Structure 1
Amino acid sequence: MNAAFFDNHMHTPLCKHATGTPLEYAKAALDAGLRGVTFTDHMPMPAWYDADWRMRRDQLDTYVAMVREAQEAFRGRLDVRLGLEADFHPGTERWLEEVLSAHPWDYVIGSVHYIGAWGFDNPEFKDEYDRRDLDSLYRHYYVLVEGAARSGFFDAVGHLDLPKKFGHRDTNGSAALRALDTVATMDVALDFNTAGWRKDVAEAYPAPNLVLEAAARNIPFVLGSDAHRPEEVGHRFEDARASLSEAGAAIVTFRGRERQHG
């Protein structure tokens, strides 16, 4: 694997649906020939929000300590960075400010996992798609994505077209293009997330047509496997690089919330 690669989307057991310690993820990255990793576990949210799928607020310092331990253990061999995957959910902005000010993060992904009270990417609730109009669903979803981009909280938008996860594709596309216009205007990057290749839809996030549209708007991409197990680190990164290169898209990383090329 190309030694220039960073995996910038990785989780830990603190989120309650991942296995393997940060040390194991870092070792997997080193074995795969990566240059570095950024841990981006699901940030704590208010107790009423998605509590079964993320760390608690009182575990945030533990998470940071786990990543710092990996930094020290792999110093000089692997560049280990500290990040979060944060949720954009209207009404929780003050909570976001508090958590994001608690530690010096390198990279913060802004993801939309909920439309109202529906966790649309949760396999337990995927039958709700049968009750929804897909055009309306995607319009509502991309309004939230635009809100995330405008919020100023995030360095990149996570898995841009996530509602396709179980195979429910956006057949209209106009809301996605408006969202990309907003992402470009706000100078936010996009998560190129290879986990989609492991899901029912069998396609990375975002879809190839959206990668082309993003590249045309000079929106850069941040590579991430969305690994929830050490063996998923760097998943299909060569394919990701080929897709982005073909589209003419730039690949970036973040350190200290500052964008870095390469």
Structure 2
Amino acid sequence: MASPLFDSHLHTPLCGHATGTPREYAQAALTAGLAGLCFTDHMPMPAWYDAPWRMRRDQLDEYVQEVRAVQAEFAGRLEVRLGLEADFHPGTERFVEDILAAYPWDYVIGSVHYLGAWGFDNPEFVAEYEARDLRELYAQYYGLVEGAARSGLFDAIGHLDLPKKFGHRDPEGYAALHALDVVAERGLALDFNTAGWRKPVAEAYPAPDLTRLAAERGIPFVLGSDAHKPEEVGFHFAGALKQIHDVGGRVVTYQGRVRHA
């Protein structure tokens, strides 16, 4: 029997660092017994921003057409939705607005991947952590998360506590609290991102305590594997559901930028 679950954080080779065709991701979701998936590849950004790790602006139509082809092929067997993982980087909001207006997206994740010019989740640049004060780092990061939540551009915040990826945890454990208040106030969801269980920190984003604090604020969660290859689709969803349900949290999906239980 199929599960009612969706995987709503998936990439494609157009981002430059994923493998497998969109069709293979859809087949993996079907094999895993999921009800559906939502592709959320890294959206185009200005040419100077993070260019090797996302599709170009002139590839956006190709991305949309590929997802629509998969929607048609799997119709009646698997629900396939069209989304983006967008970036919040101050100064690029108008560019992002234009991309979001270009097509009828189902779901848009807003993620912070950069502190200034530093791509802090890139393994190539992990040594930079040794030069940073972690308290200041987390304060700066969650300030950007608040900006993302206030921007009105996004449906959910991506991988909330991403700076812990390589094991550099928030030393005081409460830098996220005000950001969670803003996320709740603005009516956003959180990407419950199981990729953290595949990373050095070996913990989902958000951590169990942040999952509880989000649930207490009424913030819902959108399940996502952050798959960059088909075999990662639906990764560790049983563990995700347990972590969410243990604290009374709820899981939602998005279609046409509208939240559904």
TM-score by length of 1: 0.99
Match of residue 119 from structure 2 = 119
Give a deviation string over 1:12-63, Cα, whole Å, max 9, x none.
0000000011100000000000000000000000000000000000000000
- Measure, in 2, the Cα distance between the counterparts of 1:14 and 1:213: 35
Deviation at 1:160? Answer: 0.1
Q: Which amino acid aligns with 1:86?
A: A
- Measure, in 1, the Cα distance between the counterparts of 2:198 and 2:90: 29
Match of residue 136 from structure 2 = 136
Match of residue 216 from structure 1 = 216
- Measure, in 1, the Cα distance between the counterparts of 2:135 and 2:76: 49
- Measure, in 2, the Cα distance between the counterparts of 1:163 and 1:106: 27
Matches within 5 A, 1:1-262: 3-261=3-261
Q: Which amino acid aligns with 1:212?
A: R
RMSD: 0.8
Deviation at 1:158? Answer: 0.1
Deviation at 1:143? Answer: 0.1
Deviation at 1:171? Answer: 1.8
Q: Which amino acid aligns with 1:45?
A: M
Deviation at 1:234? Answer: 0.1
Give a deviation string over 1:204-224, Cα, whole Å, max 9, x none.
000000000000000000000
- Measure, in 2, the Cα distance between the counterparts of 1:202 and 1:77: 33
Unpaired stretches in structure 1, ≥5 consecutive residues:
none
Alignment size in residue pairs: 261
Deviation at 1:175? Answer: 2.2
Give a deviation string over 1:126-153, Cα, whole Å, max 9, x none.
0000000000000000000000000000
Paired-residue identity, %: 70
- Measure, in 1, the Cα distance between the counterparts of 2:190 and 2:84: 15
- Measure, in 2, the Cα distance between the counterparts of 1:196 and 1:141: 18
Deviation at 1:2? Answer: 6.2
- Measure, in 2, the Cα distance between the counterparts of 1:30 and 1:16: 25
Deviation at 1:259? Answer: 0.1
Deviation at 1:173? Answer: 2.7
Q: Which amino acid aligns with 1:55?
A: M
Deviation at 1:172? Answer: 1.4
Q: Which amino acid aligns with 1:224?
A: G
Structure 2 residue matching 1:8: 3-state secondary structure: strand
Give a deviation string over 1:59-115, Cα, whole Å, max 9, x none.
000000010011001000000000000000000011011100000000000000000
- Measure, in 2, the Cα distance between the counterparts of 1:18 and 1:195: 14
